[in-house]
A and B are shown apart, each in its own frame.
Chain A
Amino acid sequence: MFEHDDDMLTDVTARVAASLKAAVRLDPALDARVMAQVATLPAHRPGGPLGRAWTWLRRPRTVALSPLAGLAAAAGVAAIVFVAARFGSTAATPPAGGDRTPVEFLLVAPRAASVMLVGDFNDWTASATPLHTAAAGGLWAVTVPLAPGRYRYAFVVDGKRWQPDPSAPPAPDDEFGSPSSVVTVGGSL
């Protein structure tokens, strides 16, 4: 009984397999009929220019780029970042606002042809803050608005001679060979 059932199952399996293996013959006009049906369907397009732009932005695409072009683009990005960092930095700029106190710096130097003020407030740039002499006796003066803080400074006389402020507190350390002075600007001066 079991042998008979097994024979019958084998026969059915063989016939099903033969049916599945047989090539399917399609009507040669099937493609044309399908495409004609598709053409009659309403187009699915996003409405308006914004929708089209969104679709364009989302559509994946392959970009072919030579290594040279990639390096050029990267260099452009790096240049933009560098320029933004360089010219967007406010580190060298004294803080703006109403909390700055005008501080007058004076030096008596009767024989000097020029006197410059250099210090923490102007990044130690010798040409940034010249003193002016208006009175006889060689009194040189300049007024600089300073935010509260403690600043080291010195004078450069005739473009070469460094001189601390003779009547201001000396800077605590003189590790660079020419002494500086200190001015402290506080909130309740």
Chain B
Amino acid sequence: MTALRTAALAAALAGLLAAHAAAQDPRLERLDPDTRAAVAALVDSARQSGVPAEALIDRALEGAAKQAPEPRIVAAVTTLLGNLREARAALGASTTAPELQAGASAIHLGVPAAALTRLRAVRPRQPLTIALSVMADLTARGVPADSAAAAVLALAGSLRDDQFLAFRRNVERDIELGAPAAAAASSSVRLGAGAFTTDAGSSGSARPLRRP
């Protein structure tokens, strides 16, 4: 009976270890052990609170690929988790993972969480990924966060996603031509929805191809 009890105990222990290994994403094996443990804890925390963990894993893998030091990877993942949580609180529990990621980027750049809540109220039944991404992208291009949020909110009721991308391209072009970022955003808003065509929507070299 002692042997049987020992075997049962060993099986339970092994089961716990196996469950822990299964819960940890195998891609995290690229990280050194200390970083892996810290990131795994953050991923667990994200899963428990209903925040998509995939973005955290991606950020950690980006840091590992760029050979960033451990504290920087852990700090980046921690910050992202905080931003994702704030985005979810602002956008609502039913927000999709891409929306949360875009919202977290906007918040990270200084867009007020209240702007995300207002955007959800303006477009209650439409995906917000593109609108939130444009908010973040404009801010990353130098448009003040409040101005970027105000511009997107002003157009949110009338622009489709493809028009939003065209709007962003319009602002980027004006900035490249030397216009102050905030002025470029506000002047593009004044153009109105009719000024933004689908063809001008793709920005940068990463271009969605048209389906046949």
Contacts and interface: CB of A to CB of B under 8 A. Distances in A.
B102 A187 contact: no
Given A64-B3, A82-B21, A104-B207, A149 B11 contact: no
A143 B18 contact: no
| Interface residue tally on B, bucketed by range | 35 or more
A176 interface: yes
A182 B137 contact: yes
Given A78-B17, A178-B66, A86 B26 contact: yes
B6 A67 contact: yes
Nearest to B58: A120
A167 B205 contact: yes
Contacts of B25: 89, 91
Contact of A189 (B11, B102, B105, B161): B161
Interface residues of A, number: 66
A70 B8 contact: yes
B208 interface: yes
Interface string A80-95: 0110111001011000
Contacts of B101: 149-150
Interface of B: 3-4, 6-8, 10-11, 13-15, 17-19, 21-23, 25-27, 54-55, 57-58, 61-66, 68, 72-73, 75-76, 79, 97-98, 101-102, 105, 108-109, 127, 129-130, 133-134, 136-137, 139-141, 160-162, 165, 168, 172, 201-209, 211
